[in-house]
Amino acid sequence: GRLPSTWPTDDHDEAIVATMPHDGRLIYAEGRDVGYRGWLRHGRQPAFPFGYGLGYTSWSWAEVVVDMHADGMTVDVGLTNVGPRAGAEVVQVYLSRPGSDAPVRWLAGFARVHAEPGQTVTARVD
């Protein structure tokens, strides 16, 4: 599995510092820079980043192929299980818009693949 949140090295490293409840809702003064986006914006290094995870095998990644089309893009990458046992890998695709007020980068999509030892599979993120 992969972590759905970012874990700080210690409490003083937490990127969210001004969260206040209001009418039953949490209001984040950080705006869109919540979670891993706040860590990126402030250049802090967490103990375990969003999406971190361990497995019981090793992977070799091929070249990433990006196909741009009218309604978005498709990202394909070949992965070969080079370890001794079956396993799963998660490919995460992030986007950025330098020079804007958008987050430093954000998760645009992901794909999880399974493979037996020696097997090559393709992960596709639409």
pLDDT of the chain, 126 residues: tens digit per residue: 788 888 888 777 665 566 778 898 877 777 777 777 777 777 778 888 888 888 899 999 999 999 999 999 999 999 999 999 999 999 999 998 888 888 888 889 999 999 999 999 999 999
24: alpha, beta or left? (left if phi > 0; alpha if psi -120 to 50) = left
Are both 84 and 104 inside the same structural domain? Answer: yes
Are both 111 and 64 inside the same structural domain? Answer: yes
Find the domain containing 41 and state its range: 1-54
Find how far residue 107's CA is from the centre of its chain: 6
Structure token digits, residue 44: 């802090």
Are both 67 and 26 inside the same structural domain? Answer: no
Are both 36 and 88 inside the same structural domain? Answer: no
Are both 40 and 67 inside the same structural domain? Answer: no
The number of domains in the chain is 2
Structure token digits, residue 84: 């001794």
102 CB contacts (<8 Å, ≥6 apart)? Answer: 32, 96
Are both 85 and 112 inside the same structural domain? Answer: yes
91 CB contacts (<8 Å, ≥6 apart)? Answer: 75, 77, 79, 110, 111, 112, 113, 123, 125
pTM listed for this prediction: 0.74
Are both 64 and 49 inside the same structural domain? Answer: no
